[in-house]
């Protein structure tokens, strides 16, 4: 383990031939001393994005760190000093230990990591940065969490791969953040764990990081955690069960536009929101090709101002329960190739302003006391268009036509309002429905008490009463 004189590895540097463009990542204290070289522009060169989803930006990471080191080599040693920050460089191939370095008594500590370290790292102090050098800096768990941040403040993990936490419980999170504040996760890949990262009552900023290919879940935010995502892309894809799980927590993406958030190709659900959690998206959200549901709303709010793509799932968006609310607007919205596109039940609310729904078995459904709002929607080439079976719907300036089994099907006490310039094809109603607006019911049949849509399409067990709080994912 080499202990160096304090260095400011993130200082703005210039030479006659080369200028590195920096983006400041201010810590939660407002101190601007922590910066990083932007992967968007180094010496005028834009690094191309890697494969979508779960590939760590290793080439970008090594290139960026390499540029910084090259520039530093040409500078006088005293030019890089940062008063009060002690830098310790460890080489894991040489047997150095991150935990041993963390025992240093310096007020502010920078630990630079080279190689693969196999240990359960515990951070139980303030003002620490773990910085991976190059693209191969890896922390492999030994028995429990690979990295456990325990009641600490101003902790940064940067340029690291975190893996090997496989216990099927809370100790199986690659990164576990417990009652900590001002935590920054920057260019981190958490893969090959039971869960990629789990938080408990913490404030965190996540920048350009991936939580993919874990056996259970990708990113689990719980128990009052508050998280901001930033940068260009956050991915929670390819996990065994869920991608992004919010329970009694809040996640916010800045607007406009925030980073693209991916929750694709997970074994069960892309996004789960429960326990009154809030997901506010100022950038695009994708939840595609998941084994069951793109976005599952049990209790909480999803508000997306930059669109939502929930294609190629069994169910695109499911909201069940009186405390489940979905509001989506924006041009980047698609609900296609699902067995069921949008499904609101048991008092839940789903509202879309600008949406394309096509090639789904049932496009939009409100059942029980479910509520649906559609504005400027385009719903065509589905098995059925809008189905309201005991629920309510408000449809404004939308096109609903060319659906195989009818365009608007109303039954079992449905209440529907049409406003604006709608284009609606075939409408069918039973004798119990109420319709207002320019669209009328040309066909009235006797009252129907048909089974729920989920039973009809063979996807039972979605009712929130079948998914009580006692059965929330822990």
DSSP 3-state assignment of 62?
Answer: helix
Q: What is the pLDDT tens value at each position of the chain, 474 positions in all? A: 555 444 433 333 333 333 232 333 333 333 333 333 333 332 333 333 333 456 545 444 444 444 333 333 333 222 234 668 999 999 999 999 999 999 999 999 999 999 999 999 999 999 999 999 988 999 999 999 999 999 999 999 999 999 999 999 989 999 999 999 999 999 999 999 999 999 999 999 999 999 999 999 999 999 999 999 999 999 999 999 999 999 999 999 987 789 999 999 999 999 999 999 999 999 999 999 999 999 999 999 999 988 899 999 999 999 998 899 999 987 778 999 999 999 999 899 999 998 889 989 999 999 989 999 999 999 999 999 999 999 999 999 999 999 999 999 999 999 999 999 999 999 999 999 999 998 888 754 444 444 455 555 555 444 444 444 444 455
The pLDDT, as a whole number, for residue 453 is 53
Please report the beta strands in 201-254, taking only residues with DSSP state E, as ranges in sequence order.
203-207, 210-211, 217-222, 226-230, 233-235, 242-247, 250-252
Nearest-Å Rg of the Cα atoms of the chain is 25
Give the closest residue to 163 by CA, choosing from 211, 222, 235, 200: 211
Do residues 10 and 23 lie in contact, with contact meaning Cβ atoms separated by under 8 Å? no
Half-sphere exposure of 89 (CA within 13 A, CB side): 9
The span from the first CA to the last CA of the chain, in angstroms, equals 40
CA 404/CA 423 separation, integer angstroms = 16
Q: What are phi and psi of 79, to 5 degrees?
A: -70, -20
CA 145/CA 165 separation, integer angstroms = 5
| Cα–chain center distance at 455 | 30
Q: What are phi and psi of 403, to 5 degrees?
A: -100, 135
Tokens of residue 159, six digits: 């340029």
The pLDDT, as a whole number, for residue 305 is 87
Instruction: Write the DSSP assignment of 280-328 as a string of letters.
Output: EESS-EE--S-SSEEEEESSEEEEESS-EE--SSSEEEEEESTTEEEEE
- Is the peptide bond preceding residue 256 cis, with omega within 30 degrees of 0? yes
The pLDDT, as a whole number, for residue 71 is 36
CA 318/CA 466 separation, integer angstroms = 13
CA 167/CA 141 separation, integer angstroms = 10
CA 91/CA 115 separation, integer angstroms = 6
**Contacts of 105 by beta carbon, 8 Å cutoff, 6+ apart:** none
Tokens of residue 286, six digits: 């994708």
Half-sphere exposure of 390 (CA within 13 A, CB side): 17
| Cα–chain center distance at 95 | 36
Alpha carbon distances (Å) from 371 to 67, 343, 394, 417:
54, 9, 8, 12
* Exposed / middle / buried, residue 136 (Cβ in 10 Å: 0-12, 13-18, 19+): middle
Do residues 443 and 425 lie in contact, with contact meaning Cβ atoms separated by under 8 Å? no
CA 319/CA 297 separation, integer angstroms = 5
Q: How many residues does the chain have?
A: 474
Neighbours of 354 (CB within 10 A): 17
- Find the helix or strand (DSSP H, E) in which 101 lies: helix 98-102
CA 291/CA 52 separation, integer angstroms = 19
CA 240/CA 214 separation, integer angstroms = 6
Neighbours of 47 (CB within 10 A): 16
Q: What are phi and psi of 323, to 5 degrees?
A: -105, 20
Do residues 110 and 137 lie in contact, with contact meaning Cβ atoms separated by under 8 Å? no
The pLDDT, as a whole number, for residue 54 is 62
CA 22/CA 429 separation, integer angstroms = 61
CA 325/CA 345 separation, integer angstroms = 11
């Amino acid at each position: 383990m080499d202990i160096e004189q304090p260095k400011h590895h993130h200082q703005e540097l210039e030479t006659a031939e080369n200028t590195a463009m920096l983006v400041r990542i201010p810590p939660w204290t407002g101190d601007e001393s922590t910066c990083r070289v932007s992967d968007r522009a180094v010496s005028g060169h834009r690094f191309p994005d890697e494969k979508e989803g779960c590939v760590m930006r290793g080439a970008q990471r090594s290139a960026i760190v390499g540029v910084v080191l090259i520039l530093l080599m040409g500078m006088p040693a005293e030019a890089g000093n940062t008063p009060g920050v002690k830098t310790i460089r460890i080489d894991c191939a040489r047997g150095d230990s991150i935990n041993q370095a963390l025992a240093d008594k310096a007020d502010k500590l920078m630990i630079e990591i080279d190689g693969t370290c196999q240990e359960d790292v515990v951070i139980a102090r303030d003002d620490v940065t773990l910085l991976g050098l190059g693209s191969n800096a890896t922390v492999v768990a030994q028995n429990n969490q690979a990295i456990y941040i325990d009641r600490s403040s101003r902790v940064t993990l940067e340029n690291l791969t975190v893996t090997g936490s496989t216990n099927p419980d809370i100790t199986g999170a690659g990164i576990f953040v417990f009652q900590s504040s001002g935590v920054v996760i920057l260019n981190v890949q958490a893969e090959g764990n039971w869960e990629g990262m789990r938080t408990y009552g913490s404030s965190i900023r996540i920048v350009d990081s991936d939580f993919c290919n874990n056996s259970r879940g990708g990113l689990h935010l719980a128990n009052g955690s508050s998280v901001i995502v930033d940068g260009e892309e956050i991915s929670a894809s390819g996990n065994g069960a869920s991608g992004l799980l919010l329970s009694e927590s809040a996640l916010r993406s800045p607007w406009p536009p925030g980073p693209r958030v991916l929750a694709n190709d997970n074994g069960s659900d892309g996004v789960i929101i429960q326990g009154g959690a809030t997901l506010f998206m100022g950038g695009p959200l994708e939840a595609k090709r998941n084994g069951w549901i793109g976005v599952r709303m049990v209790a909480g709010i999803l508000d997306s101002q930059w669109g939502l793509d929930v294609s190629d799932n069994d169910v695109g968006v499911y909201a069940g329960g009186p405390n489940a609310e979905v509001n989506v607007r924006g041009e980047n919205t698609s609900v296609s190739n699902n067995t069921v596109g949008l499904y609101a039940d048991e008092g839940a609310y789903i509202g879309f302003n600008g949406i394309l729904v096509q090639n789904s078995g049932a496009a939009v459904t409100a059942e029980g006391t479910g509520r649906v709002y559609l504005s400027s929607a385009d719903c065509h080439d589905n098995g059925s268009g809008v189905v309201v079976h005991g629920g309510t719907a408000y449809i404004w300036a939308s096109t609903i036509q060319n659906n195989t089994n009818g365009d608007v099907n109303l039954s079992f006490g449905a209440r529907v309002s049409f406003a604006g310039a709608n284009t609606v094809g075939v409408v069918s109603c039973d004798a119990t429905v109420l319709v207002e607006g320019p669209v009328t019911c040309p066909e009235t049949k006797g009252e129907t008490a048909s089974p729920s849509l989920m039973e009809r399409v063979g996807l039972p067990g979605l009712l929130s009463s079948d998914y009580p709080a006692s059965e929330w994912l822990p």
